[in-house]
Chain A
């Protein structure tokens, strides 16, 4: 068998090819959206949540860590970007940097605290920390409490792109989403991603091979939190506000829901899940409070019938990795 050379050993070339093809199709379809009469605001919002769900999925789907406080990264980045843009009057790119940096710093701190615990304890600590933050944002003067930060100026990105034009904003958000998605995709398919998967599969074994698993989980947590923050900063330009909704624990629950509906541990699942959930909120808005009930029913149906999620079931059916 030693005749086998390196290039004759296909590790996962087919999987990689499939995924890249689907990625290409997704990018093209999304790029065509402004040419259709689909409401761009809806797609932009969905893209922000899709990136958020992908970041969350990196942590749970590949690291096996269920964070129940991911809204804190979304909200923190949102508030910091909004504050920087509105009060300090910085340029959009700097506003994004401020938000992402704040989320990154927060993920380092919360990661250090939470990563040492496992399973339900990890989830509870992340939930507690995000509730703590929620209370701070409720009281802190710069967030304007219940009112939130409103009327955030969109400005010119890099001094060229006028973000107040919906089409320009759409492509900027799309570029941000695709960039974030590719970074997650690369992380999953990197040497680090391999170790992360092995920790998810069997942490004890990974330790016995000499891996200090806490360090890997912490890096995954920081990456996930930072990217969730990036989604939060992008969302500020779309919604032009930053409010308490984004740090509330129900938002954390929604992120979990999106990922589960789309397919936990699949690459495209969170994107599909985010679109499904945001579409429901958008187009079922006429039902008022009943949207929550419908969401609950879908969640139950998902857990009972297609536990792998939409993309998970499709991938399983075709025996492909998506």
Chain B
């Protein structure tokens, strides 16, 4: 198993022997084909490799539960410092596979920074991020996305001058090579139209297929963004305020959509709308001033005095 781990290790990340938990649950197919590097193999000194293998076999023998199997994403001591200001400080987050995990907190609590750290759009100052037991702390954002950890953005991120169908197709074509082919007609992309239409109708956007994204209503853009993200079939989706700026009708639609996709995908979301959080999430982490204040389900947290205080200020608590 250690051998498979080593082979499947993508470029630019720590060699597996440096991962704290080598427990044989890493799935090589998730890394995508053709991205294995000889360098990481060389970078792995024999001594540590043997140690890692021993540890893994000991785990198997003792029947210890593989934590990484239960938690798809974990962070240890995750910290981001901007010139003396700690936007995120020592955050330990564990996201259970298959759950909807909400990240809430007052403005400036570090939720979006946290997202940016997890998807590598920002480099952490300290700490470690494990995705499916693999250390992704040093990876490039595009590589993280290729591992199946895909994010959305707070401000609707569509490609405005492409049609809805083209938006989804851009995501679909990435996995099928040919994206560097400048000599071929884009009609080769028509084979993705069927799948793209499926994804669009899943989010109720069939009639918008040929509408440029810029002309779509706001709520529909958010839906399109989710369809585009789903096109990658990610194991885990990070949604940054999926309901921000939406009317009631759209909120219900998107909430139902999130509930539906959570059957197949793990979801970590930042959301301000507490009724949405209450209805959707299995577990909630409350952040304040860059640190984890509390964690639990909605019922527990709504009784928590510290959470009330963080949201309403000390005087009201």
List chain A positions with a Cβ less than 8 A from chain B: 1-2, 4-6, 9-12, 183, 186-187, 189-195, 197-198, 201-202, 204-213, 215-216, 219, 223
In contact, B190 and A11 (Cβ under 8 angstroms): yes
Beyond A191-B178, A191-B181, whether A208 also contacts B186 by CB under 8 A is no
CB-CB nearest in chain A for B163: A11
A152 to chain B, nearest CB (A): 31
Query: Quick one: which of B251-277 are within 8 Å of A by CB?
Result: none
In contact, B158 and A202 (Cβ under 8 angstroms): yes
- How many angstroms between the C-alpha atoms of A308 and B185 in the bound complex? 27
- How many angstroms between the C-alpha atoms of A49 and B185 in the bound complex? 26
In contact, A205 and B142 (Cβ under 8 angstroms): no
In contact, B158 and A205 (Cβ under 8 angstroms): yes
Q: Mark B151-164, 1 if CB is under 8 A from A, else 0.
A: 11100011111110
Residues of A within 8 A of B197 (CB): 1-2, 4, 9
Residues of A within 8 A of B162 (CB): 194, 197-198, 201
Residues of B within 8 A of A201 (CB): 159-162
In contact, A197 and B190 (Cβ under 8 angstroms): no
Beyond A2-B201, A195-B179, whether A9 also contacts B193 by CB under 8 A is yes
In contact, A186 and B183 (Cβ under 8 angstroms): yes
Residues of B within 8 A of A207 (CB): 121, 141-142, 145
Task: Tell me if B31 is interfacial: C-beta within 8 Å of chain A.
Answer: no
Given A191-B188, A201-B160, A204-B153, 19 other A-B contacts at CB below 8 A? A4-B206, A10-B210, A11-B166, A11-B186, A11-B210, A12-B163, A190-B182, A191-B173, A191-B186, A192-B181, A195-B173, A197-B159, A201-B159, A208-B153, A208-B157, A209-B145, A210-B143, A210-B232, A219-B180
Residues of A within 8 A of B146 (CB): 210
Q: Can you pick out 26 interface pairs between chain A and chain B where the beta carbons lie within 8 Å of each other?
A: A4-B206, A6-B193, A9-B193, A12-B163, A189-B186, A191-B178, A191-B180, A191-B184, A192-B180, A192-B181, A193-B182, A194-B162, A194-B170, A195-B174, A198-B159, A201-B162, A204-B157, A206-B170, A208-B150, A208-B157, A210-B142, A211-B174, A211-B179, A212-B140, A212-B142, A216-B180
Residues of A within 8 A of B209 (CB): 9
CB-CB nearest in chain A for B146: A210
Beyond A193-B182, A194-B189, A207-B141, whether A6 also contacts B194 by CB under 8 A is yes
Task: Tell me if B171 is interfacial: C-beta within 8 Å of chain A.
Answer: yes
In contact, A210 and B179 (Cβ under 8 angstroms): no
Residues of A within 8 A of B186 (CB): 11, 189-191, 193-194
Interchain CB contact (< 8 A) of B165 among A11, A187, A206, A211: A11
In contact, B179 and A191 (Cβ under 8 angstroms): yes
Query: Quick one: which of B18-46 are within 8 Å of A by CB?
Result: none
CB-CB nearest in chain A for B174: A210
Task: Tell me if B288 is interfacial: C-beta within 8 Å of chain A.
Answer: no
In contact, A205 and B188 (Cβ under 8 angstroms): no
